[in-house]
Structure 1
Amino acid sequence: MEPKYPIPTVGALVKGPSGRVLIVKTSKWQGWWGVPGGKVEWGEPLEAALQREFREEVGLELANIRFALLLEGVFDPQFYKPMHFLFVNYFAESPDETVCPNQEILEWAWVTPEEALRYPLNNITRALLGAYTGRGAI
């Protein structure tokens, strides 16, 4: 049974040393590309959840974490099942671009923001990338 309240999640658009950003494709988003992230655990601070999710999903450590924007996803048809999410999005940097994917990550790419816009991005990531490019470089 699904919860009857919004689920808080964290994610980040991360820039590597090359100046490119990381996007990933997961099965949960049905072929749409996005950014690594996931649910916040009970009692877990948001930035700690973000660090944990990046370690678990792609094996990266994050630095220079900055809040980017808050988005809501209510029964988004791009997601594999009906859910109500609160997406707490960040910008961050990684000192390394070596991705060690877990089973959730089907594909990944380090791309320029312009290249990322040519991928089939989920709506949340497209909005995050828009905020990123509107602000200039992170």
Structure 2
Amino acid sequence: MNSPSSAAPPSRPLVCVGALVRGPAGYLIVQTTKWRGSWGVPGGKVEYGETLSAAIEREFVEETGLKITGIRSAQTQEAVRSAEFHKDSHMLLFDFFAHTEGESVAPNEEIVQWAWVSLEEALSYPLNSFTRTLVELAIKEGA
């Protein structure tokens, strides 16, 4: 019998969502426990039967307490056994841009700290590489 810590990774990639969200005070970035202390955007796994859009809405509320609107697709990335992630994993990352009217973050246990920043300021943080490409895309598109 395997203990949970020695469980084999899933046999298929995990489908995950994340969003770079603009609020009244700028764009929200978070330092998380899952990306070895680097900064990223809130997000998580898509549940069976859930649309990508519904998943990012749910994940954002769960992780930050904020409701998001104006969700639009940004990019898709693959994180295949990335050393940046806290465990061996193969993830398909569906990234979005969105808005929020709120700015009072109610973080869950995954978020260590957060900041509302401009896109240019975000690049000065130690972002994980997947978030860095999302921020760079936002700058390029003038999001």
Q: Same fold (TM over 0.5)?
A: yes
- Partner residue, 1:101: 107
Alignment-derived partner of residue 10 in structure 1: 17
Any residues of structure 2 matched to 1:59-138 within 5 Å, and which?
Answer: 59-136=65-142, 138=143
Normalised by the length of structure 2, the TM-score is 0.93
Task: Report the residue type matching 1:101 in the other structure.
Answer: P
Q: Deviations over 1:53-109 (max 9, x none)?
A: 001000010011000000000011010111000000000000111100011110000
Mapped partners of 1:95, 1:112: distance in 2: 16
How many residue pairs get aligned? The number is 136
Deviation at 1:2, TM superposition (A): 1.5
Q: Provide Cα deviations, 1:20-46, integer angstroms capped at 9, x if missing partner.
A: 100001111111100000000000011
Q: 1:85 aligns to what SS in structure 2?
A: strand
Structure 2 residue corresponding to 1:48, chosen from 18, 41, 54: 54
Q: Which letter does structure 2 place at the counterpart of 1:102?
A: N
Question: 4+ runs of 1 displaced by more than 4 Å?
Answer: none
What TM-score comes out, normalization by structure 1 length? 0.97
- Aligned residues with identical type, % of pairs: 51
Where structure 1 has 5 or more consecutive residues not aligned to the other structure, the ranges are none
Bigger Cα Rg: 2
